[in-house]
Amino acid sequence: MTGAAPLAPPTTRVVATREEMHELGIQLAAILRPGDLLVLTGPLGAGKTTLTRGIGEGLQVRGPVTSPTFVLARTHPSLVGGVPLVHVDAYRLSSALELDDLDIDFAGSVVVVEWGSGMLDGVAESWLEVVIERPTGADASDAAAAEDEDELDADEPRTVTITGFGPRWTA
């Protein structure tokens, strides 16, 4: 991905390694501002958290950025007086009301929601949808059935499609 064109949604990129997914997150952070919402969709092991780590590095937030699966949401304050990153794992949530109960500062943060597709109606008028496809990914319900954890984390090409919705991204 070195030398890739500047990031501007809508875009589709093929990333071959975890390092390239991380770098894509850094590039994505460069266009983000307070109030931006990103919804990440992809199978288990697709690279959603790796992409979010890159966003965190690009925003220069306190880390480490890890999957918030068991705490549901984790806020990473800026180390440089910039925008904080809120990282949400919505897999265990059953509705947008439960997401609202987390009391997230959507207006003053960059909010990244893994597994949030279809759960964010009315939360924001603009958002980025990031869909990550990989050939050997499993959905979260298949996690326990995965025979080889290394297979889920293996470097292999992923197709990342970033689409903007609402006035922020159509302007």
pLDDT confidence of residue 55? 97
Closest CA to 54 of 99, 15, 12, 92: 15
Contacts of 26 by beta carbon, 8 Å cutoff, 6+ apart: 54, 55, 57, 58
What pLDDT does 103 receive?
82
- pTM for this entry: 0.85
pLDDT band at 14; cut points 50, 70, 90: very high
Instruction: Work out the mean pLDDT of the chain and round it to a whole number.
Output: 85
Hey, what are 52's tokens? Answer: 């979010």
| pLDDT surpassing 50 at residue 141 | no
The stretch 144-152 carries a mean pLDDT of 45
Is it the case that residue 127 has pLDDT exceeding 90?
yes
Q: What is the pLDDT of residues 79-126, one digit of tens each?
A: 999 999 999 988 877 777 777 778 888 899 999 999 888 877 778 889
Strands (E) across 35-157 are located at: 37-41, 73-76, 85-89, 110-114, 127-133
CB of 106 within 8 A of CB of 37? Answer: yes
Percent of the chain having pLDDT more than 70? Answer: 85
pLDDT in tens, 101-113: 788 888 999 999 9
Mean pLDDT (whole number) for 19-42: 96
| Per-residue pLDDT at 71 exceeds 90 | no
DSSP secondary structure code for residue 100 in this structure? H
User: What topology does CATH give the domain 11-137+154-170?
Assistant: Rossmann fold (3.40.50)
DSSP annotation of 4 reads: P
Confidence of residue 4 (pLDDT cuts 50, 70, 90): low
